[in-house]
Amino acid sequence: MQKPLGRIDDIAASATDQVPGVIPLVRARTLSITTRVTYGASCDADAVVCVYYSPDANNWDSQALTSWAITFTVSTTQQITKIIDIPEHGHIMIKVTNGTDQEAITDVIVWYSIQSWAEVKAQSRGLIDTANVYD
């Protein structure tokens, strides 16, 4: 099920901001993260999404677990979804960096979809109606 993680109204030129919220991992099997960014007329570089891990939501890794660019196109909104290889337990936070030094990027929105091992087991037994899982 897609869940909104958070929204950032704007990220200043060459700045980084943390998306509000943390993703809890409990018997996690798969995690997909969808990020949407709106570029202005003066943007000239990609935004970069970085995913950080913590075992306890207090002590965060100093290096990203993974990262990717959202290719810029002037005056458009771009969206990308990535499937992340994650530990079964812990917490994930997302930071987005504005790669351009020309202007802010706006309407940064992040959603996530997570499936736990318990859900997979229930689906294989027919206990979860998979037709409505991603509504």
pLDDT, averaged across the chain: 89
Gap between the Cα atoms of 96 and 110, Å rounded = 10
pLDDT over 80 (residue 124): no
Instruction: State residue 134's pLDDT score.
Output: 41
Tell me the pLDDT band of 4, cut-offs 50, 70 and 90.
confident
Q: What's the topology of domain 2-115? A: Jelly Rolls (2.60.120)
Q: Give tens-digit pLDDT for 33-64.
A: 999 999 999 999 999 999 999 999 999 999 99
Domain boundaries defined on the chain: 2-115
Place of tokens 């998306």: 19
pTM value is 0.84
Q: Give tens-digit pLDDT for 54-92.
A: 999 999 999 999 999 999 999 999 999 999 989 999 999
Q: Of residues 114 and 120, which shows the higher confidence score?
A: 114
